[in-house]
Amino acid sequence: MNAKTWMRLPWQETIWSRLRPDQGSSHHAFLLTGPEGIGKQRLGRALAAAFLCMHPKQDASACGECESCMWLHAGNHPDFRWLTTPARMQEQGAEDETGTTESEESVPEKRASEQIGIDSVRGLAAFFSLTTHRGGPRVLLIEPAEALNMAAANALLKTLEEPPAGTRFILVSSYARRLPATILSRCLNVSVPLPSLPEAKSWLEEEGVSSPDSLLTQAAGRPFRALALADADQQQARREFMDQLSKLEHDPYGISEKANRDNVALWTDWMQCWCYDLLAKKHNAPIRFNPEHAMRLKALASRLDLGRLLDWEKKLRIARYQSHQPVNPRLFCDDLLNDYCAVLQ
């Protein structure tokens, strides 16, 4: 991981005052929540770096130059652990949330797990029991926290209830409601803000994105999702998918046969945006995500059944979380697209 991944983002300055170690909360466990793609991971890492830094800056952020910061950047700090899923471990340092490419014939059991199991939590026993380096703090970063299965969450709870001295827990979650209430009650819940449009545009331009406006529209204002969409292949894939979705009325199998582990989460997100725009047109509200399909959305919305559309919207909200779990991509997308066809009947 390079030094940049341990720095908070420009739109996180205000919330930093609530978290900074010298003036913020002294709570031992923080739960950073918010939509996917807004930079929660960066804020969590910035907080971890600040706790561990030997010579913090005036604003309490990590200096990026001391021995502790160098260890973090190199990925071998003795007082830091990153608890994540085996699938995420395969992507060390990646910002996106997709898995590694697999063939359609691959079965979920053969893929890297999308859950954090109890063995991973138990494996932290030595980390918690040993004396920290130079007597300083220790930090455990857990992301995505909702990936903790029930056994792992229960095992973690024991440590959260009686944390070792100087230990800080940082949990990052896009689906905090799926965490057990016992975990939620022991964490300081911090809602990470979505950046304003000017802030997001400025950051994307600094990242080398030449035309961020349309990308932010497609990404619902989420800068990291917009950054991923800036890739030419991503844009082509989205255009093809949305074009097919706009014409889909009877046979979803031509689309779903192309589903794989890499695109199922993106497709679910795009279907949710399409559904939102249909609901907007049904109520004569402005289209938010797909202005290039305004005429088609208007025509579809004029004849579809609102009750069925709301049922599909509810299913998509659930599917958005499930799309990051071990699913059969083709069957998963078949189910969602069949329901869409039913909406249009």
List residues bridging with 42 in a β-sheet: none
Kindly list the domain boundaries of the chain, sorted by start residue.
3-191, 231-344
Q: What is the pTM of this model?
A: 0.83
**Alpha helix stretches (DSSP H) within 146-229:** 150-161, 181-184, 197-206, 212-218, 223-229
pLDDT at 27: 85
Residue from 16, 18, 17, 320 nearest 177 by CA: 320
pLDDT at 1: 65
Return the CATH class of domain 3-191: alpha beta
Work out the number of other CB atoms within 10 angstroms of the CB of residue 276.
18
Would you put residue 134 in left (φ > 0), alpha (ψ -120 to 50) or beta?
left
pLDDT at 142: 97
pLDDT at 252: 72
The packing angle between helices 306-322 and 329-344, to 10°, is 170
- What does DSSP say about strands 29-33 and 188-191: parallel, antiparallel, or unpaired? parallel
In order along its 345 residues, the chain shows pLDDT tens digits of 678 889 999 999 999 988 888 875 678 999 999 999 999 999 999 999 999 999 999 999 999 999 999 999 998 999 999 999 887 887 664 433 323 233 333 334 446 678 899 999 999 999 998 888 878 899 999 999 999 999 999 999 999 999 988 899 999 999 998 899 999 999 999 999 999 999 999 999 999 998 899 899 988 899 999 998 898 888 898 888 998 888 876 667 778 888 888 889 889 999 999 999 999 999 999 988 998 899 999 999 988 889 999 999 999 999 988 888 778 999 999 999 999 988 887
Q: Tens digit of pLDDT for each residue in 168-215?
A: 999 999 999 889 999 999 999 999 999 999 999 999 999 999 889 989
pLDDT at 41: 94
pLDDT at 105: 35
Residue from 108, 130, 112 nearest 120 by CA: 112
Q: Tens digit of pLDDT for each residue in 80-98?
A: 999 998 878 876 644 333 2
- CA gap 295, 285 in Å, rounded: 14
pLDDT at 107: 38
Give the list of residues 6+ apart from residue 74 with CB closer than 8 angstroms, or none: none
pLDDT at 250: 62
pLDDT at 24: 56
